[in-house]
Each structure stands twice: as C-alpha cells, then as structure tokens.
Amino acid sequence: MGLHAENLRLLLQIGASHCALSIEGNNSSRQKKLRCTEQNSVICTLMSFRSGFVSIIGLPNAGKSTLYNKLVGEKLSVVNPKAQTTRHRILGIVNREQAQIIYSDTPGLVRRVSNKMHEHMVGAVMESLDDADVLVYLANPKEHNLPEAIADRLSRSKASLVIALNKIDLATQEQIEAEVEGWRKLNPTAVIPLSALHGFNIISLEQLIISLLPEHPAYFPEDQLTDRTDRFFVNEIIRGKILTYYSQEIPYSIEVITQSFKDNKNLLKIQAEVICERESQKAILIGQNGRALKRTATAARQDLEAFFGKQVFLEVRVKVREDWRDKDSSMREFGYQND
C-alpha cells in the first residue's frame, strides 16, 4: 500500500515527536542549543559543532546499504536484494554547517558463521557497536526484538539507540502505530518510521542523529567523503554486478581485486581479477565464448564511468583460489581484518 496523505501526516508527527530531545548538562544555555520547528520535516538548529560516529546495523536485507547511501548522498555501498551483500565496514562522511556525521555501513548479522570471511563480517558489526556514538538499528516490518548478540552488546554500550522502522510504504497507518509502540517497550532513545528506498523521513532522521552527537571538532577534512580507496570501490562495483547477474553460490564465493589502476587525464585504465574457489565456478563466470563475463564487465564499466566521471577501460579476468574464504593469507590480502 502506498503512502497516503493521512499516513504522511501521522508519520511526520511521529518523527517530530522524537526529534525534540533535551541535551544533558547543568548549564541552562546548553538546554537551549537545540531548537526544533515542525513543518514538512523537522528542522533542528544546533548552536555548537558536533561530530561523531553513527553505525547502521540490522539483519540481512533490512535495507541498511540503501539507507546509508541516502544519508551519505552518494552510492558508496553495493545495494542488492541478495543477502550478505555488504562485506566490509564502510565509512561515509557527511559535513553540515554545524556537524560532521561519520556513517558506518556494516554487514548484515550472519546467523550461521561457516568460514573466516563470515567471522570477519561479524567482527565488523561488533567493532561498529563499540566505537559508535549513535546506533541506528534498521528494523523490517513485524520485527519487534533486537538480535540477542546485539542486545547483549548494547547493554554495555553508551551509544544512543535509534530504532528506524523501514519499508513503511508497505504498511497501513494502524500497522505503523503498532510497530512504533512495540519498539518503544525496549526504551530506545527514539523510534522513527521511514522508507529508505523512497527517501521518506531521511531528513528527520539526520537531524535527530545530529542532536545526539557529542560536541567535538571534525574528525576528517571537509573534502573527505570516505575512508576507502578508489580501488576498493572498483572492486565493489564489479562485485555488485556479479551479485546482479549470477545466482546460487557464485556471488558468495568470489572476491574482486584491482591489479592495476592508471588514472590518465581523460581515461581510467583498470585491470581487475575475479577470484573464485572452483574451476566449475570459473566456467560459469566466464560463460560460453566469454559472453557472461563480457556482460558483467560492460555493466561494471558503465557504473565505473558514472562513479569516476570519466571514460574507463576495464579488463577483467577470472582466477581460481581454492577455499580462499577459509585462508588467513587471503583474508589479509583482501582486507578482511578487524582491528
């Protein structure tokens, strides 16, 4: 069911009610640093600079990467309906006039750890819980409890917890009200309904997050967008196309590594390798007469040209490394390490 005018009115009221938060402290002037006015969205004005880390966590397919990209304003994270799309923690840095927000996209919570790569993914989530100032748990409809591992970790965390109810465009007004009340029983800092896909209530969520950040100078230069390199995003864009065009075990058994990245004035020359675990997987990736790999590379090149804003020459090869997901040497080489 789509968002009707009555639903919009209700949701704006819900979002606004959670943005008007008091700021702790004895100084009465601190109590006045947050001013909120309710219009089509909530506008909060902070009188001092705030900076901090915000981790977006949730189950697989909750829409974390979609929300992350909306908040950051750039497509930094791979979005795909397949589970376990995000493998690494990716920082996205947003600068506002009186705040710097460092968002963290994290892997979905893996229910069954079956290899060293899964161990890394779980570690990335737990690491993000430890250093966050604000935790945004993105919940799907009819999900009313935090996963046990997350709940246990949060009990020891000083971070503010925001429950973001996603996919509200698929719910009725009565269902949304029931969802909000259900999550309030856990006593989070705030509950806010939104639609990551359609961008609804994203501004209200950002202003709420800013109000919860500590007063602190910026951690990163104003012109820095992320902590990741160009080569990382080349790998992710190619891997994203493999997620799109292949099924079954193939997307989960591959890794992409950029072997060469030459940036000329008007042309990027990139050589990349797709690493798989079996010769049979290699044959599927390449396809008859190389057609499958050509389709993947062509689509990836188009996205790379949009991402970098210039023409790209892309060469992709496929290599086999048996059981790479369970080898420490491969984990280190491919960046699957947590501090």
| Sequence-ordered list of residues with C-beta below 8 angstroms from that of 94, at least 6 positions apart, any chain | 71, 72, 73, 100, 101, 102, 103, 206
Class of 5-212 in CATH: alpha beta
* pLDDT of 272: 98
- Region 205-221: mean pLDDT is 97
What confidence category does residue 151 fall into, taking pLDDT thresholds of 50, 70 and 90? confident
* pLDDT of 142: 75
> Which of 35-49, 107-121, 211-225 has the least mean pLDDT?
35-49
The torsion defined by the Cα of 43, 47, 50 and 56, in degrees rounded to 10, comes to -10
* pLDDT of 338: 57
Report pLDDT digits (tens) over 255-298.
999 999 999 988 999 999 999 999 999 999 999 999 999 999 99
> Which of 2-11, 276-285, 294-303 has the least mean pLDDT?
2-11
Report pLDDT digits (tens) over 226-252.
999 999 999 999 999 999 999 888 988
Residue labelled with tokens 């994290």: 106
Question: Residue 4 pLDDT more than 80?
Answer: no
Question: Residue 70 pLDDT more than 90?
Answer: yes
Q: Which CATH architecture has domain 230-333?
A: 2-Layer Sandwich (3.30)
- Identical fold for domains 5-212 and 230-333, yes or no, is no
Report pLDDT digits (tens) over 215-224.
999 999 999 9
* pLDDT of 111: 63
The pLDDT > 70 percentage for the chain reads 83
Domain ranges of the chain: 5-212, 230-333
* pLDDT of 86: 82
